[in-house]
Amino acid sequence: MTTTTTPPDKPQRTEVEIIASLQNTVSASRLNTFLQCRLKFYFLYVLELKKPKTAALHVGSTVHAVLKSWSKARWLGRPLTLKELHEEFSRAWADDSEGPVVWEDNEADEKATGWRLCETYLRECRIPTDIKPDAVEVPVEADLSEYGLPRLIGILDLVQQGRIIDYKTAASTPNAEKVAHTTEVQTSSYGVLYRANKSQPENGIELHHLVKLKNPKVVITSLPPMSDAQQTRLFHLMEAYVSGVARREFIPSPGMQCASCEFFNECRQWK
Ligand code: SF4
C-alpha cells in the first residue's frame, strides 16, 4: 500500500485560492486528469496529495532527462558523446529530489532497462542530428481569454523543423490509430501553444514511444497538424473543465482506470 503526504515547505493556500488558480490556467495533463476522473483531479490538484514515485515514473523521468540533455547539447552546437550521455543518465537516476522511489522489481534491472531504452532511441529515432532543433523543453502558454477560456500552459519536449516531438515511455507497443485518439487533448494543446507562439501552424506532431520490452524499441507515430475540428473539440473540453471546476464537481468515475489509480484508498472513503 502506498502512503500519502501533503507537500512539504509549500506556502499554504486555501482551497478557494487553489481553485481560483486552476480556473485561470490549465495544462493538457490537468485537463486529461479532470476528464478521466474529477475526484482524482481533486486529490491531485486541489488537495495536492503526493504519492511516492513509482519505478515506471522514475525510468520515464530519467530517460526524459537524458533526451533533454541530448537535444539541448545539439541546440548549443556541442553534441554529447555516448559516455557523457551515460553520465547524465547516472546523475538523473540518482536524483531523489522528488522523494524515494517504490521499487517493485530489482532497481538494478530497472536501471539497465532505462539505459537500454536511451541507447535504442539514440540509434533508431531518425532525428537528423546535424540539424539544430528549433526549441528544446520550452515552456509556452496561450492566452485564450477571447474564447472565454483559461490560459493554456505546457512544455514542448522538442521542436525540430517545425514538427513538435513528444517523448513517451510505454510498457507495450502502441496502436497508431488508438494513440492518436487517446493523446488528442495533449497533441491539440501543443498545436494551440505552438501557433500562439509562432503565429503559424506546426508542420506536424510526432509521438516517440520508447517501448520497455526485453528488446526495447522505438515507435514513431506521425500526426498531421492540428485540424480546426480538433481545436474546436479541445475548446469544448476546456469549457467543460471551466464549468466543472467552478461548480466543484469533484465526483469519482469508477472504471478500468481505477486499477492503476494511486488514490484508490482515499477514493473508497469518499461519500
Ligand atoms: S479510484 Fe477510480 S474513481 Fe476513484 S479517484 Fe481513482 S480513478 Fe477516480
* Cell numbers linked to 11: 506556502
Q: Is the pLDDT of residue 47 over 90?
A: yes
Q: Tens digits of per-residue pLDDT, 179-217?
A: 999 999 999 999 999 999 999 999 999 999 999 988 899
CA dist 65 and 77 (Å) reads 18
Give the pLDDT confidence score for residue 67 in this predicted structure: 96
* Cell numbers linked to 8: 512539504
Q: Tens digits of per-residue pLDDT, 226-270?
A: 999 999 999 999 999 999 999 999 999 999 999 989 999 999 999
Q: Is the pLDDT of residue 88 over 90?
A: yes
Whole-Å CA distances, 202 to 163, 185, 194, 247, 265: 6, 16, 7, 35, 42
CA of 195 from ligand 1 middle (Å) equals: 34
Any ligand 1 atom below 6 A from CB of 257: yes
Any ligand 1 atom below 6 A from CB of 35: no
Average pLDDT, the chain: 93
CA of 74 from ligand 1 middle (Å) equals: 42
Any ligand 1 atom below 6 A from CB of 40: yes
Q: Tens digits of per-residue pLDDT, 127-166?
A: 888 899 999 999 999 999 999 999 999 999 999 999 999 9
* Cell numbers linked to 68: 533533454
